[in-house]
Amino acid sequence: MTASTRPLISVITPSFNRGAWVGDAVRSVLAQTVREIEHVVVDDGSTDGTFEVLQELAASDDRVQVARQENRGPSAARNRALSMATGTYVTFLDSDDLLPPDRLEKQLRYLEEHPDADAVFGTQELVPAPGIETPDREHWASGRPQHCWSTMLVLRSQILDVGAFDEELWDGEDTDLSFRLRGRGLQLDAVDDVYLLRRFIGDNLTYSTNDPTPTLLASVRRHLRRRQADST
């Protein structure tokens, strides 16, 4: 991709041992109705051939940018991808999930129609793999829309201004980032449109944590400590 075709949106994906799934994730990005995009995928030390799958995808479409690093966790992989990204906006996708084909178009339209909004995020639909049951969580089974921070579309510059992802966090990093963005005064709007097809395959990091409350509380405590430190 040349400077004259700089993408409008960079989709950021960390990947660890998702060789059987990451190809579908990338193809869901390339199938977006918005074409001015790039997909930056960082292989976080996979041992199952994930990087080879990514190399083949990058060779077939120059909108796919890939890199490889030692296993340092999803936050570090996302930050590496952010350092490679060139889009005006960024959004995020895990390597075993899928984007609905019109997601980015809907998000751009929302921001155009709501100039006070700095970012917009939506809901997720659970798509268990064959033979895998949906996690036994009350909030999954409630029937209410489940908003997902990682679906956020936001200016890349605003992500970088708050220091991107906390690399000490291997879980809840997107919630932590959202607190820091709100702490800077950004308006993050939630809508009920489905922006993510979350596939459960049995060993997802999110799947392995049955109760999300401790992660949320930890993010709140980190946010309060930062506010206290900033005020002293």
The 10s digit of each residue's pLDDT in 137-189 is: 544 445 567 899 999 999 999 999 999 999 999 888 999 999 999 999 999 99
φ and ψ at residue 59, rounded to 5 degrees: -70, -25
Instruction: Say if CB 39 and CB 65 are below 8 A apart.
Output: yes
The 10s digit of each residue's pLDDT in 19-45 is: 999 999 999 999 999 999 999 999 999
Cβ within 8 Å of residue 149, ≥6 positions away: 121, 174, 175, 177, 178
The position carrying tokens 């708050």 is 162
Instruction: Say if CB 90 and CB 156 are below 8 A apart.
Output: yes
Predicted model pTM? 0.85
> Rounded distance, CA 34 to CA 135, Å?
33
As a residue count, the chain comes to 232
Neighbours of 8 (CB within 10 A): 14
